Amino acid sequence: MFTLYKKEIFSFLNSLIGYIAVIVFLLINGLFLWVFPMGFNIIDFGYASLDNMFALAPMVFLFLIPAITMRSFADEKRSGTIEMLLTKPLTDFQIIFSKYLASITLVLLALLPTLIYAVSVYLLGSPKGNLDMGGLWGSYIGLIFLASAFAAIGLFISSVTDNQIVAFMLSLIICGFLLMGFDIIAGLALFGKVDLFIISLGIQAHYTSMSRGVIDTRDVLYFLSLIAIFLMMTKTALESRKWENTVSVKKKA
């Protein structure tokens, strides 16, 4: 399992697309937070806060994480190595979890340089250190949970197609809907008192809650449930492929 995990990490690091995805993530955050004179600019904001980064990061993750996960299974299926992978002395769950953990590790590597922003805001505060550390770490935890959910979705989509572009686009659409779709539906005010429940079905409500620095068990359970559902769906997709291969072999026999 650890060997497969390392293989996935090195495969990403040897890929130009992987480096481009991480660089674009850091570049977009850096430009919007420190350079462009727009609403996200920290210096123009006038407060020692990274709230704008945590408001911007989920939107960037919509593109970054599907770019990371799109090749997880789709590339294996396209190249024909998926059968070889499934015959290794590993359970389906071990294969899935290795690829999933590798995706999360790469997201964490992309997030790590953003700690420089936290140090910068800490030093720029008046007085120095005037930064809500509880909210900061809560936001980072929320962002990691959000990234973990996106990665589980991307892994599932990659397991049902052999086209990386299709996997990227479908992951982008589904992650985008779970992030903003329920808020948009509730904003139409068509369901009355049910609107609050509809909002609670979306990722944004739970991510925003954690970003306040209070880690509510309901938010944690929401993300863990979402991750578990999509990882189980990925397992089902792999088992389905095994069943199809078995039927195909029997027919040839």
Share of the chain above pLDDT 70, in %: 94
pLDDT in tens, 129-153: 777 778 888 889 999 999 999 999 9
- Residue 35: predicted pLDDT: 81
Tell me the mean pLDDT in the region 154-165.
Answer: 93
Report d(CA 159, CA 161) in Å as an integer. Answer: 6
The residue among 249 and 232 whose pLDDT is bigger is 232
Return all residues near 87 (Cβ < 8 A) that are at least 6 apart.
none
Report d(CA 24, CA 212) in Å as an integer. Answer: 27
- Residue 92: predicted pLDDT: 86
- Residue 143: predicted pLDDT: 93
pLDDT surpasses 70 at 246: no
- Residue 48: predicted pLDDT: 67
pLDDT in tens, 93-138: 899 999 999 999 988 988 888 888 888 888 877 777 777 778 888 8
Where are the chain's structural domains? 2-244
Report d(CA 66, CA 33) in Å as an integer. Answer: 23
Task: Read off the pTM.
Answer: 0.90
